[in-house]
Structure 1
């Protein structure tokens, strides 16, 4: 999440991330200096984690339900939305599987093992009963718990749909959901002002107690994430553009994508790249009713870079806690969480942090694992934003291909 007190465009975009990195560096230095005594700072980190987890449930519920409640309908709109969501899920799944292969060949936390507290009760989806318990609860109060995040998300979607179906009769409730969502977003914004202190304290504790080997493992994780992400950017998007328009599709995509890609990379925001992304899509021949829907929505709920990062974070935690990141149930769960992090959760301000909380909650990792993967989120942000933004553009081309047929690019000047 970005804060506002920075003046230059670069600092406005990356200032808060730099501040977090600086605070983590200070905390790590304090940990090396104080060693075991750094555990005295842990309560300051616990305050930050407790505040985040307290705000998590109402934030997720109100954000998702208000977004669904505000949706409109229409025949063409419905076709575009259906095609768009299908493309978003497809590309997110491809990105997730791509990173799964990478972490299997090059485990990001190899050689590192720490024990914060028991992490043995990890959630798996091996049986029908476990699937039922993952997405539903037998009683309403159980939904209002971070331990049942999937059930909470499903319930929020149902409430949003019910509100939307009632139209004018549900307007007052829809306004309430929107207002409550704004309030929770502001609450998270206020909590994040404490993040530098909380993360500084927690990394002092982690480094002091568990030593510099944890910090060294971040370098290994980044040597995996950056090459895979850039390879996916060039190879994956070329394949998507080919599927959308064959050879001409590839040429027009790479001819027009540079300005929005650089805008996203420079500003650290997919939203900031929307104007140049729309212009690039128009030059590529994407119909305006498609580009003006897919690209703005994609800037908030389509994040292939976040899918790549989510799998890395999960595999990293499995390695840290000396757990086996393999097996059908484990990998399918990771795929589902990555898609949630790159679609539903990415639409929430601070969604990177919320996605990390989701990983911790669904797998049953101890709360102390949160600062460990939040550092990864900060480090992967620039290339992830680049992939997120450019992915919206190529997805608009794929939707145009699905709705317009093979000849949708005939009017484009290649």
Structure 2
């Protein structure tokens, strides 16, 4: 019995342990070598480039195959509606939590930063940014990971049209399903290189930017990092309990750590997408749900970004000696955090655009932009981890809404390989 338990633990945690060990080793190498560790960066870039290369066709085939294979278009509507509901509610909860925390522990208290000169920032034209977030001017622009949201919308539309032409579209749908399996197999092969790639990447990252993490932004980081850890274990436990009861909690945390480690190391929702899709399959999330919710979530479900947006706003209020208080201030901050997390994430350079949005809407001077952009960079690893791991959890919650509370007993992925 004891041996079976040991085998079970090693079976589920072997890869996360190897991955985490390689990252820790990379951090140690980075601290020892300092900036010289940048020579290892190409080994990390190979892994990132491989993941980024595969992600565009993977997103296209997984979404189109999921949508085109749906005989019942009402189910697609239920999935999209449930997904939007989950995205907004979890983003709202994350924003409220961070508002509470920054009022108890103001992130800019006692922080004095010399403001560097910055070029004048052009005012944001929100309507134009929204159009840019969901559309592109040419088909060739779709074949780029910088335009993920337009690609997702096109993929849904394409899959819908394949389904609408009836039997003629069946061969295309079958081909898309096979292509989806091929790309997922490619991902599983690439992941064998992950420990080397991520270890090297983290060594270069710590070697180059480690000292900056100990600078004048330390207080904000001391607030943000623990909140992300608490949110991950407490809020996600509650969400997974809603999704599948105590078994849902166990299944989620048994499966999610490779995704968490990959996203923390790569700092990219898009690069983590293939690993996240595989994790959702292991969680028992049906193919049509995970192939729609997770790719869309990679660009539009940003609990970590909502947490960081509130932190940035309150930090800037403190820097400029403005009181971060009042219902109106809180409501505006929540709207901006959800907007920067959902809409702006689909725009190339979305993080910086979200930060520019904060600077402009609150009337901060142009010199504020480098400050808020630096905070954005420092909080990016845990924010991305919360964003990515929240996507697979969202797919579980959507499945709970669509299939009912006993969905885990139905073995919805039993017919898959």
- TM-score (normalizing by structure 1): 0.62
Q: Assess if the C-alpha contact under 8 Å between 2:91 and 2:303 holds in 1.
A: yes
Aligned to 1:393: 392
Question: By how many angstroms is 1:76 displaced?
Answer: 2.2
Q: SS of the counterpart of 1:282?
A: helix
Partner of 2:155: none
Residue 8 of structure 1 is matched in structure 2 by 43
- Structure 1 portions without partners, runs of 5+: 15-70, 118-144, 161-173, 187-214
What's the RMSD between the two structures over aligned residues?
3.2
Alignment of 1:343-362 (within 5 A): 343-362=342-361
Q: Distance in 1 between matches of 2:270 and 2:255?
A: 18
Say whether residues 1:146 and 2:123 are aligned partners: yes
The whole-number CA distance in structure 2 between the counterparts of 1:175 and 1:326 is: 39
Deviation at 1:366, TM superposition (A): 1.1
What's the counterpart of residue 337 of structure 2?
338
Q: Classify the secondary structure of the residue corresponding to 1:176.
A: coil
Are the equivalent residues in 2 in contact too, given 1:108–1:217 (CA < 8 A)? no
| Shift, 1:81, TM fit | 1.1
Where does residue 378 of structure 1 map in the other structure?
Answer: 377
Unaligned runs of 5+ in 2: 1-39, 50-66, 117-121, 148-213
- Runs of 4 or more off by more than 3 Å in structure 1? 10-14, 71-74, 112-117, 151-157, 177-183
- Asked if residue 306 in structure 1 is aligned to residue 267 in structure 2, the reply is no
Match of 1:409 in 2: 408
Q: Give the whole-Å Cα distance in 1 for the aligned partners of 2:298 and 2:114.
A: 38
CA distance in structure 1 between the partners assigned to 2:274 and 2:114 by the alignment: 47
SS of residue paired to 1:334? helix
Query: How many positions carry a matched residue from both structures?
Result: 282
Answer yes or no: is the 8 Å Cα contact 2:304–2:384 preserved in 1: yes
**Kept in 1: contact 2:136–2:142 (CA 8 A):** no
Q: 1:246 and 1:363, CA in 2 relative to 1: closer, same or farther beyond 3 A? A: same
Instruction: Rate the CA distance shift 1:11–1:287 in 2: closer, same or farther, 3 A.
Output: closer
Aligned counterparts, 1:13-412, within 5 A: 74-112=73-111, 146-149=123-126, 151-152=127-128, 176=137, 217-412=216-411
SS at match of 2:410: coil
The corresponding residue for 2:166 is none
Structure 1 residues 198-254: Cα deviation after superposition (integer angstroms, max 9, x where no partner): xxxxxxxxxxxxxxxxx9541110010001011101111111000111111101101
Once the 2 structures are TM-superposed, how far is the Cα of residue 266 of structure 1 from its aligned partner?
2.3
Q: TM-score scaled by structure 2?
A: 0.61
- 1:303 Cα shift? 1.4
